[in-house]
Amino acid sequence: MDKTTCIVEVSREFKASAETVFDAWLDPQKAGKFLFVTPTGVMKTVEIDARVGGKFCIIETRDGIDAEHRGEYLTIDRPRQLRFSFGGHPFLATYVTVNIQKTELGCVLHLTHEGVWSDYEASVMQGWTGILDKLAQLI
Protein backbone atom coordinates (compact mmCIF):
# COMPACT_ATOMS: atom_id res chain seq x y z
CA MET A 1 0.00 0.00 0.00
CA ASP A 2 1.16 3.51 -0.86
CA LYS A 3 1.78 5.42 2.39
CA THR A 4 2.01 8.87 0.78
CA THR A 5 -0.65 11.26 1.97
CA CYS A 6 -2.78 13.92 0.39
CA ILE A 7 -5.29 16.59 1.35
CA VAL A 8 -8.97 16.09 0.54
CA GLU A 9 -11.16 19.18 0.22
CA VAL A 10 -14.92 19.39 -0.25
CA SER A 11 -17.32 22.32 -0.10
CA ARG A 12 -21.08 22.71 0.07
CA GLU A 13 -23.55 25.54 0.31
CA PHE A 14 -26.33 25.40 2.90
CA LYS A 15 -29.59 27.32 3.06
CA ALA A 16 -29.23 27.50 6.82
CA SER A 17 -27.38 29.79 9.19
CA ALA A 18 -23.70 29.21 9.94
CA GLU A 19 -24.67 28.63 13.58
CA THR A 20 -27.17 25.89 12.66
CA VAL A 21 -24.65 24.11 10.43
CA PHE A 22 -21.83 24.44 12.99
CA ASP A 23 -23.95 23.27 15.94
CA ALA A 24 -25.04 20.10 14.11
CA TRP A 25 -21.43 18.82 14.24
CA LEU A 26 -21.37 19.01 18.06
CA ASP A 27 -24.94 17.92 18.89
CA PRO A 28 -25.01 14.13 19.47
CA GLN A 29 -28.69 13.90 18.40
CA LYS A 30 -27.98 15.57 15.05
CA ALA A 31 -24.47 14.20 14.48
CA GLY A 32 -25.80 10.66 14.85
CA LYS A 33 -28.05 11.26 11.85
CA PHE A 34 -25.40 12.46 9.37
CA LEU A 35 -21.84 11.96 10.62
CA PHE A 36 -20.34 8.65 9.37
CA VAL A 37 -23.83 7.27 8.66
CA THR A 38 -24.21 4.66 5.91
CA PRO A 39 -27.46 3.55 4.22
CA THR A 40 -27.47 0.06 5.79
CA GLY A 41 -25.59 0.72 9.04
CA VAL A 42 -27.12 0.96 12.51
CA MET A 43 -25.90 3.78 14.75
CA LYS A 44 -24.68 2.29 18.02
CA THR A 45 -22.85 5.07 19.89
CA VAL A 46 -22.61 8.86 19.55
CA GLU A 47 -20.49 10.42 22.31
CA ILE A 48 -19.38 14.03 21.89
CA ASP A 49 -17.47 16.06 24.49
CA ALA A 50 -17.79 19.41 22.70
CA ARG A 51 -14.83 21.33 24.11
CA VAL A 52 -11.23 21.87 23.06
CA GLY A 53 -9.43 18.74 24.25
CA GLY A 54 -12.73 16.85 24.36
CA LYS A 55 -13.11 13.66 22.41
CA PHE A 56 -15.76 12.12 20.21
CA CYS A 57 -16.63 8.50 19.52
CA ILE A 58 -19.16 7.54 16.88
CA ILE A 59 -19.75 3.83 16.27
CA GLU A 60 -21.98 2.44 13.55
CA THR A 61 -22.55 -1.29 13.11
CA ARG A 62 -22.11 -2.26 9.46
CA ASP A 63 -22.83 -5.84 8.43
CA GLY A 64 -22.23 -7.02 11.99
CA ILE A 65 -18.92 -5.14 12.37
CA ASP A 66 -18.49 -1.97 14.43
CA ALA A 67 -16.99 0.93 12.46
CA GLU A 68 -15.42 3.26 15.04
CA HIS A 69 -14.77 6.95 14.35
CA ARG A 70 -12.76 8.69 17.05
CA GLY A 71 -11.01 12.00 17.45
CA GLU A 72 -10.23 14.98 19.62
CA TYR A 73 -11.42 18.57 19.21
CA LEU A 74 -8.51 20.94 18.63
CA THR A 75 -10.38 24.16 17.73
CA ILE A 76 -13.98 25.14 18.42
CA ASP A 77 -14.65 28.67 17.14
CA ARG A 78 -18.44 28.89 16.75
CA PRO A 79 -19.71 29.37 14.07
CA ARG A 80 -16.57 29.75 11.96
CA GLN A 81 -14.22 26.84 12.51
CA LEU A 82 -14.09 23.34 13.92
CA ARG A 83 -10.84 21.37 13.81
CA PHE A 84 -10.34 17.84 15.11
CA SER A 85 -7.99 14.91 14.93
CA PHE A 86 -9.52 11.90 13.30
CA GLY A 87 -8.64 8.25 13.37
CA GLY A 88 -5.85 6.51 15.10
CA HIS A 89 -5.22 2.84 15.78
CA PRO A 90 -4.30 1.09 13.56
CA PHE A 91 -3.85 4.17 11.33
CA LEU A 92 -2.05 7.41 12.05
CA ALA A 93 -4.34 10.24 13.10
CA THR A 94 -5.39 12.68 10.40
CA TYR A 95 -6.77 16.20 10.79
CA VAL A 96 -10.08 17.67 9.68
CA THR A 97 -10.85 21.38 9.53
CA VAL A 98 -14.39 22.64 8.92
CA ASN A 99 -14.58 26.32 7.94
CA ILE A 100 -17.98 27.98 7.64
CA GLN A 101 -18.61 31.36 6.05
CA LYS A 102 -21.91 33.21 6.15
CA THR A 103 -23.47 34.03 2.80
CA GLU A 104 -26.54 35.96 1.72
CA LEU A 105 -28.62 32.77 1.50
CA GLY A 106 -27.10 30.87 4.44
CA CYS A 107 -23.51 29.67 4.53
CA VAL A 108 -20.81 27.78 2.73
CA LEU A 109 -18.87 24.98 4.44
CA HIS A 110 -15.36 24.09 3.31
CA LEU A 111 -13.90 20.88 4.77
CA THR A 112 -10.20 20.03 4.59
CA HIS A 113 -8.97 16.55 5.59
CA GLU A 114 -5.17 16.41 5.93
CA GLY A 115 -3.04 13.28 6.07
CA VAL A 116 -5.28 11.01 3.99
CA TRP A 117 -3.46 8.07 2.44
CA SER A 118 -3.38 8.71 -1.30
CA ASP A 119 -4.86 5.26 -2.01
CA TYR A 120 -8.01 6.38 -0.15
CA GLU A 121 -8.35 9.88 -1.64
CA ALA A 122 -11.38 9.10 -3.84
CA SER A 123 -13.27 7.15 -1.17
CA VAL A 124 -12.59 9.80 1.50
CA MET A 125 -13.81 12.54 -0.85
CA GLN A 126 -16.92 10.50 -1.60
CA GLY A 127 -17.46 9.90 2.13
CA TRP A 128 -17.24 13.57 3.13
CA THR A 129 -19.44 14.60 0.18
CA GLY A 130 -22.08 12.12 1.34
CA ILE A 131 -21.82 13.37 4.92
CA LEU A 132 -22.37 16.97 3.81
CA ASP A 133 -25.33 15.89 1.65
CA LYS A 134 -26.88 14.13 4.68
CA LEU A 135 -26.27 17.26 6.79
CA ALA A 136 -28.07 19.39 4.19
CA GLN A 137 -31.06 17.02 4.32
CA LEU A 138 -31.06 17.10 8.13
CA ILE A 139 -31.10 20.88 8.50
Structural domain count of the chain: 1
Per-residue buried b or exposed e for 15-32, using 16+ beta carbons within 10 Å of the residue's own CB: ebebebbbbbbbebebbb
Task: List % helix, strand, coil for the chain (3-state, nearest 5).
Answer: 25, 45, 25
pLDDT in tens, 88-125: 666 678 999 999 999 999 999 999 999 998 998 999 89
Residue 46 domain boundaries: 5-138
Taking the C-alpha atoms of residue 99 and residue 31, their distance in angstroms, rounded to an integer, is 17
CATH number at residue 67: 3.30.530.20
Taking the C-alpha atoms of residue 52 and residue 82, their distance in angstroms, rounded to an integer, is 10
Give this prediction's pTM: 0.90
pLDDT in tens, 22-44: 999 999 999 999 998 888 888 89
Cα 23 to chain centroid, rounded: 12
